[in-house]
């Protein structure tokens, strides 16, 4: 019987100090490391093309003979699920999820409540 996947309970996001860096940096490079962002782009492209990612399709996205790339693939997949970018679909497949945008919306609402709604005097 296969082991249940372990997902991180939290993911660290490095937000640049300068606003221009936030605009110029691709969102995946803010959320993930450079290597993980590259793999995430391939995962997203595959899901856009096929509608979902099946568990055995990892061989299409990464080189099965490169152990480091396979390890980074699974690390990236777990982070994307923990962030809420991906969710589980039918029969163990991976599909896009809107959970990440809901999390960011709640975070924005909390910051606005803390600072008085983002209104400046």
pTM above threshold 0.85: no
- E strands, 1-115, in order: 86-88, 94-96
Domains by residue range for the chain, with CATH: 19-115 (1.10.10)
In tens, the pLDDT along 87-119 reads: 998 888 999 999 989 988 998 898 888 888 765
In tens, the pLDDT along 28-73 reads: 998 899 999 999 999 999 999 999 999 999 999 999 999 999 999 9
- CA 97, CA 101: separation in Å to the nearest integer? 9
- CA 109, CA 97: separation in Å to the nearest integer? 20
């Amino acid at each position: 019987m296969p082991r249940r996947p372990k997902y991180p309970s939290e993911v660290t996001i490095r937000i640049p100090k300068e606003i221009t860096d936030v605009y110029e940096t691709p969102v995946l490079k803010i959320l993930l490391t450079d290597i993980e962002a590259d793999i995430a782009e391939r995962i997203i492209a595959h899901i856009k093309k096929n509608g979902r990612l099946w568990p055995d399709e990892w061989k299409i996205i990464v080189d099965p003979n490169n152990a480091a790339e396979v390890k980074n693939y699974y690390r990236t997949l777990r982070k994307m699920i923990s962030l809420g970018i991906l969710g589980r679909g039918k029969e163990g497949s991976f599909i896009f999820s809107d959970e990440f945008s809901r999390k960011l919306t709640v975070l924005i609402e909390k910051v606005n409540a803390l600072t008085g709604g983002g209104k400046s005097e």
